[in-house]
Amino acid sequence: MQTLIIDGTIVTAEGRYKSNILIEDGIITRIGDSTEMDEGWVIDAEDQLVLPGGVDPHVHLNLEMAGTVSSDDYYTGGKAAAFGGTTTVIDFVSQGPGSLEESVSAHRRFADSNTSIDYSSHMNITYFDDQVAEQIAGLPDLGITSIKVFTAYNDRLRINDGDVFRAMRVAGQNDILTMVHAENGDVIDLLIKEALQAGHTEPIWHALTRPGWGAVEASLRAFALAAQADAPVYLVHMNMAGEVDQLKYARSQGIYAMGETCPQYLFFNEENLLQTDGAKFVCSPPLRSKTDNAALWQGLEDGTIQVLATDHCPFFFNGQQAIEYEGEMVAIPGKELGKSDFTKIPNGLPGLGDRLPLLWTYGVLPGRISPERFVALTSTNPAKIFGLYPKKGTIQVGSDGDIAIWDPKLEIKYGVNVAQHRTDYNLYEGWKLKGMPTMVLQHGEILVENGAWYGKPGQGKFIERVSGEVL
């Protein structure tokens, strides 16, 4: 099967040029002026941009939390991603009671049969001993080359600093990247206890009990541990100006440090948690200030921050009221679970399909970043860092035929009726966005065309990753 894309302007992280692309059996086999092909179909991309499909390295699909489950599974999450121009996601394997390999196998048994786009996984390390250390070293044989550790969520997800150091060290020795959720779990637990004793139950207290300085302190601790372990480290969901400063400092000292932020930390702040629908904005780490918004934007612009991810983890705002999704009524318990106690609000936001249109509208159009930087932040850099490049993240001969045909002039009124997340709200309801994909391909096959969906459960593949790059 052949697919020929003609007359479009290809945009990669390195530059822009007009050319044609031939995809055969899912792989790009030719880029050039030729329009020759044996059999197949032709896509006319005149006056449009041809981008590599987005790579979102931080999503949570079908994640159990707070007595419920995140409302997007591998099928619906893949659909939402594709409508926004993303064709590959990386989620997380929870560490179970058996071996890491058993946890990965259990995860894949469910995900492989349901995913509608390509995916890979990181391995959460929430318990550590000598046996786990040996198993971490074997993760690359399972196609997984990254682990995640936490400095918060005491007695649930967190391991102590000594074990973080040991995990980083064994990861570094095996070309595995360590990702860190950086907050101060001890301070958080104390402040939550005090807030509840004082009768504070509103959503704003989710942020007030997770001080931003805790994230700044924990980020420096993560970089210091990585330096001592001589291992690369990647800071997830940066939300503080101080984290940008710490990342810049760590990199200036030769530490193999990288980081990501997410759209919610660019556009929203603690004031949103004071709204009557403030529970919609509860995520961890929480929203901060307008000053932090500006510093994170600057980090994306000047290269301090390497990736724009989403930390996509959606829940219904009112899970007692069903919505229609693909002709069926769906209701999943959501943020109403915490209506009288902020600690019971499921932490997470929808965002998987919003990422690219938002960054184009508010990043490229005002001139904050170039189209090339846009591709780097949303596709090429995450593909390189997490060992998917050049299979993913670029347009070159030998790459997968994952393509977003992008109309930079397409204007829409965005919101829950446009985004395809399986939830009942969108953070960007009513926003006017300019620049959207009109067609999205995976392996040369159409997933989305002018608002129509052609994906199916199990159509996507698990992608085994190799060791990534330090950017």
Write the CA distances from 154 to 126, 150, 185, integer angstroms: 10, 9, 6
How far is residue 466's CA from residue 12's CA, in Å, rounded to a whole number?
22
- The C-alpha torsion from 433 through 439 and 442 to 447, rounded to 10°, is 100
pLDDT at 1: 83
How far is residue 440's CA from residue 453's CA, in Å, rounded to a whole number?
10
Tokens 């993240």 -> residue: 393
Token pair listed for 159: 């391991």
Q: Which amino acid is at 370?
A: S
Give the count of alpha carbons within 13 A of 66, CB side only.
25
Token pair listed for 451: 């608002």
Is residue 170 within 8 Å of 133, Cβ to Cβ? yes
Is residue 348 within 8 Å of 65, Cβ to Cβ? yes
pLDDT at 66: 86
Q: Is the peptide bond before 390 cis (omega within 30 degrees of 0)?
A: yes
- Phi, psi dihedrals of residue 447, rounded to the nearest 5°: -100, -45
How far is residue 140's CA from residue 119's CA, in Å, rounded to a whole number?
16
Q: Which amino acid is at 32?
A: G
Helix 74-83 to helix 100-114 angle, to the nearest 10 degrees? 60
pLDDT at 254: 97
Write the CA distances from 17 to 29, 50, 62, 352, integer angstroms: 17, 10, 40, 28
pLDDT at 129: 97
Instruction: Quickly list DSSP for 269-281.
Output: -GGGGGSTTGGGG
In the chain, what is the greatest distance between 2 CA atoms, to the nearest angstrom?
Answer: 73
Map residue 70 onto helix, strand or coil.
coil
How far is residue 159's CA from residue 360's CA, in Å, rounded to a whole number?
38
Is residue 349 within 8 Å of 355, Cβ to Cβ? no
Token pair listed for 255: 């530490």
Q: Give the gyration radius of the chain's Cα atoms.
A: 21
How far is residue 375's CA from residue 405's CA, in Å, rounded to a whole number?
13
Q: Is the pTM of this model over 0.95?
A: yes
Q: Cα(first)–Cα(last) distance of the chain, in Å? A: 36
Domains along the sequence of the chain with CATH:
2-51+394-422+429-453 (2.30.40.10), 54-383 (3.20.20.140)
Instruction: Quickly list DSSP for 159-188.
Output: --HHHHHHHHHHHHHTT-EEEEE---HHHH
Burial group, residue 86, by CB count within 10 angstroms (0-12, 13-18, 19+): buried
| pLDDT tens for each residue of the chain, 471 residues long | 899 999 999 999 999 999 999 999 999 999 999 999 998 999 999 999 999 999 999 999 999 998 999 999 999 999 999 999 999 999 999 999 999 999 999 999 999 999 999 999 999 999 999 999 999 999 999 999 999 999 999 999 999 999 999 999 999 999 999 999 999 999 999 999 999 999 999 999 999 999 999 999 999 999 999 999 999 999 999 999 999 999 999 999 999 999 999 999 999 999 999 999 999 999 999 999 999 999 999 999 999 999 999 999 999 999 999 999 999 999 999 999 999 999 999 999 999 999 999 999 999 999 999 999 999 999 999 999 999 999 999 999 999 999 999 999 999 999 999 999 999 999 999 999 999 999 999 999 999 999 999 999 999 999 999 999 999
Token pair listed for 136: 């971490």
Is residue 424 within 8 Å of 318, Cβ to Cβ? yes
Tokens 């990861």 -> residue: 171
Q: Which amino acid is at 310?
A: T
Among 146, 142, 48, which residue's Cα sits nearest to residue 102? 142
Which runs of consecutive H residues, i.e. helices, occur in 178-307?
185-197, 204-208, 212-229, 241-252, 264-267, 290-302
Map residue 315 onto helix, strand or coil.
coil
